[in-house]
Every structure is written in structure tokens, then in C-alpha cells.
């Protein structure tokens, strides 16, 4: 059994993918080629916003969004302590100070009821993460941001296609940041990312930043970076984007099957907020006791699982200088002890889900 089987997915779209790659190679259209523009328009339209700017990675999308919004030394950005490191890393890279707010234990996303208490005169932005494929409580976050005059930047690396009241991730904040890392729901065959926004100035800045700050080649207006999305990756993503909704729907069906089999065992299955569509980038259960023993038991039986994330962002060596301590964000810390992600992907055989549920049942019967 595999945690994620990208080869199985490739088999279903091989003809289209091979043709798309070949076309780029044939035209030696490697850098900023036609597919990049096409993908930028297609993804922007898909998300319901005006502009898309293809970049090297989701990390770069976060970084350039923060930079374009002038965040840096003296500013504070409120975010979640329960995410992939890039979320906080990019804030630190700009020179701004990340300020964590604990999560809602049901959704694993930032708890908006705790945001206002963390706002200071230095706070400039809120950076929610739509973790595991479900939007954070974005309408509440937007209301707070509006009232307190703050920017909202969405880390939607795990959530392309997820909705809240019919609107897609990346269409709520001033900027949305997408990752095309291979394992994401819309994954390239290498690194890639995109900044999506309705803000013309921001899009313009990002387009220039990704080519060393030059509007015109060799005329550099500011210090940027080298962060383009490869044409080959864009061509692959254009093929895959057409399948994304179907794949996300199938992921939901797989999640429903897990729910059906695991809930009778007393397992805490993913909580889905009302009015949202979850795209199940991960299917993450909570195991309050013996999480690691369960993972080991499953591994023994050839079922791979993952712990997203074993450490909260405030207790990492890299964030030590922020001065946080154990106990500062108990909900996030607890999630690190209890969260266990099970295999989920559109091609995952139903019988694998049955087998996983059966193994979990066996484990629980000997550990309660
Ligand atoms: C994957 C991910 C990123 C970073 O994306 P890369 O393309 O790997 O740089 C950022 N935030 C979250 C929540 C992610 O899952």
C-alpha cells in the first residue's frame, strides 16, 4: 500500500501528459513559455480572481505576497502554529514578526475567536492556512480583518478548489498562495507555485520579482529573485487542472467511506465546517492515546501513515528566538500528539480503505 500513488494517477492521464511535455520540448519553450500564461489565466479563473503569477514554489508565493504588501521589520503577522514550516519561515524571511494564535481543535485551523487578543498596533496582516484541504473560518477572519484594518493572505497550498459558501480558496484575501508540489491536490512533476490576486499592483510586483526585479531584461528596478514556473510544469498542470474537480470529488467519496467505517469504532474523523467543501488533501484522524503505537501497528501491516505535523511551529529550533514555550498553544501542541493522516488519493482502492479500517479496529480492540 502507498501513502500516495502518483504513478497510478499518471497512468490515467499518460497520453495527455506525454503530449504536453513533448510539445514544450519540441518548441524548446522552457522559460516563461506559452503554457505558463495559459495556466496563470486558467488558475486565476478557477479560483475566481483576476491575476495568477506562476512561481518556483508555494513558499515563494507566500514570500512574494508578504514582500509585495510591504511587510517587514516592525510589522507583525498573525498566523497558526500548526502548519508546514514555510508559513512561518516566509514571514521571518521578510523581517516581520510572526505572532501565533492557537487552532480550533476540530478543524486544526486558526481559531478566529482568539485573533483579536493577539492584535497589537504593529499587526498588519493575518495569514490563515487552509489546512488539510479545508478553508479556515475565513468569513470570521475577514470580518476581524475589516474591523481592524488588516490584510488577509491565504495559505492555500493544501486547498485549491475547496470552497466556503460557494467561493473558492484564494478568492477571499488580498492574496492567495498555491503550491504545486507533486503531492498537492494539483501537483506538478517537480516544484511550482502561484500567487493569485485581484490586486493589480501585487500581481505586477510578483511578475517583476520573479525575474530579478526587472521589468525589462537587464534593467533591474529592485532586488527580486529567480522564481519562475517552468513551462514544462505549467503544461503538465494545465492537463491536470481539467481533472482537479473530479479528483477532489473522488477524494470526498473516499473520505466518506473512511468516515462510515471509522466512526463506529469511535475514531475522531475529520470535522467539516458547515457551508464548506473539503478537498481532503489529507484525511486526518485524531488518536488521543496510542497514536504512535497505532501508526507502528499499521506500518507493520504495510499501511503507511503520516504525522502532519509532529512539532508545532512555535517549538522548533528555527523559531526559538521568537521566545515561545511549551504550553503557549495547547490545542496545536495536542494536535501534534494526536493527528494521524491516513492514505487518501483519488486512485486509492476502496478495499485498501476497508483494510485500513479493519486494522484500526483490531488495534483498538487490544488497546482500550
Ligand atoms: C506545501 C506547503 C507550502 C509550501 O509549498 P512549496 O511548494 O513546497 O514551497 C506552504 N504552506 C503549506 C501549508 C503547505 O502545505
Q: Report how far residue 127's alpha carbon sits from residue 228's, in angstroms, rounded to the nearest whole number.
A: 23
Atom of ligand 1 nearest to the CA of 180: 7
Distance, C-alpha 297 to centroid of its chain: 28
SS3 sequence of 130-194: CHHHCCCCHHHHHHHHHHHCCEEEEECCCCCCCEECCEECCCCCCEEEEECCCCCCCCCCCCCEE
How many CB atoms neighbour CB 172 within 10 A?
24
Burial label for 259, CB within 10 Å (0-12, 13-18, 19+), is middle
- Cα 253 to ligand 1 centre (Å): 25
Task: Identify the residues whose C-beta falls under 6 Å from ligand 1.
Answer: 57-59, 83-84, 86-87, 129, 155, 157-158, 179, 181, 191, 193
Q: How far is the CA of 128 from the centre of ligand 1 (A)?
A: 13
Q: How many residues does the chain have?
A: 368
Which helix (DSSP H) or strand (DSSP E) does residue 283 occupy?
Answer: strand 283-286
Q: What is the pLDDT of residue 183?
A: 98
Q: What is the pLDDT of residue 153?
A: 98
Q: Where are the alpha helices (DSSP H) in the chain?
A: 6-26, 34-47, 58-68, 86-94, 138-148, 200-209, 231-262, 291-300, 330-338, 350-366
For residue 356, the CA-to-ligand 1 centroid distance in Å is 27
- The three cell numbers of residue 159 are 486547498
**171 within 8 A of 197, measured Cβ to Cβ:** no
Mutate to test the pocket of ligand 1, among 54, 87, 107, 227 (most ligand atoms within 8 A of CB): 87
pLDDT score of 367: 87
- Ligand 1: which atom is nearest the Cα of residue 60? 9
Q: Which residues contact 305 (CB under 8 A, 6 or more apart)?
A: 3, 295, 298, 299, 340, 341, 342, 343
**Mean pLDDT per 10-residue interval, the chain, length 368 residues:** 98 98 97 98 98 98 98 98 98 98 98 98 98 98 98 98 98 98 98 98 98 96 98 98 98 98 98 97 96 98 98 98 98 98 98 98 91
Question: HSE of 232 in the Cβ direction (CA atoms, 13 Å)?
Answer: 10
Amino acid at each position: 500500500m502507498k501513502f500516495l500513488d502518483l504513478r497510478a494517477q499518471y497512468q490515467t492521464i499518460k497520453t495527455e501528459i506525454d503530449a504536453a511535455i513533448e510539445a514544450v520540448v519540441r518548441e524548446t519553450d522552457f522559460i516563461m513559455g506559452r503554457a505558463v500564461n495559459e495556466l496563470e489565466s486558467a488558475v486565476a479563473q478557477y479560483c475566481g480572481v483576476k491575476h495568477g503569477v506562476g512561481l518556483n514554489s508555494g513558499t515563494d508565493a507566500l514570500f512574494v505576497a508578504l514582500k509585495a504588501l510591504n511587510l517587514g521589520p516592525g510589522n507583525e503577522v498573525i498566523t497558526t502554529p500548526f502548519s508546514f514550516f514555510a508559513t512561518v519561515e516566509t514571514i521571518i524571511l521578510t523581517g516581520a514578526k510572526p505572532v501565533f494564535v492557537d487552532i480550533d481543535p476540530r478543524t486544526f485551523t486558526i481559531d478566529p475567536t482568539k485573533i483579536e487578543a493577539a492584535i497589537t498596533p504593529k499587526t498588519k496582516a493575518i495569514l490563515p492556512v487552509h489546512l488539510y484541504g479545508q478553508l479556515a473560518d475565513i468569513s470570521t477572519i475577514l470580518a476581524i480583518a475589516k474591523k481592524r484594518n488588516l490584510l488577509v493572505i491565504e495559505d492555500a497550498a493544501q486547498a485549491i478548489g475547496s470552497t466556503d459558501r460557494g467561493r473558492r480558496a484564494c478568492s477571499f484575501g488580498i492574496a492567495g498562495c498555491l503550491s504545486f508540489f507533486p503531492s498537492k491536490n494539483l501537483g506538478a512533476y517537480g516544484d511550482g507555485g502561484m500567487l493569485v490576486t485581484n490586486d493589480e499592483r501585487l500581481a505586477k510586483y510578483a511578475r517583476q520579482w520573479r525575474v530579478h526585479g526587472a521589468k525589462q531584461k537587464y534593467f533591474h528596478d529592485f532586488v527580486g529573485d529567480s522564481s519562475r514556473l517552468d513551462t514544462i510544469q505549467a503544461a503538465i498542470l494545465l492537463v491536470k487542472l481539467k481533472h482537479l474537480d473530479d479528483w477532489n470529488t473522488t477524494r470526498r467519496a473516499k473520505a466518506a467511506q473512511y468516515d462510515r467505517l471509522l466512526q463506529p469504532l469511535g475514531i475522531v474523523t475529520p470535522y467539516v465546517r458547515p457551508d464548506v467543501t473539503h478537498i481532503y488533501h489529507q484525511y486526518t484522524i485524531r488518536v488521543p492515546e496510542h497514536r504512535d503505537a497505532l501508526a507502528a501497528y499499521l506500518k507493520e501491516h504495510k499501511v503507511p501513515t503520516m504525522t502532519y505535523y509532529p512539532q508545532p511551529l512555535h517549538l522548533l529550533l528555527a523559531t526559538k528566538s521568537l521566545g515561545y514555550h511549551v504550553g503557549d498553544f495547547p490545542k496545536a501542541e495536542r494536535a501534534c500528539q494526536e493527528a494521524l493522516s491516513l492514505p487518501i488519493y483519488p486512485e486509492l482502492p476502496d478495499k485498501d480503505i476497508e483494510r485500513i479500517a479493519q486494522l484500526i479496529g483490531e488495534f483498538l480492540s487490544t488497546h482500550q
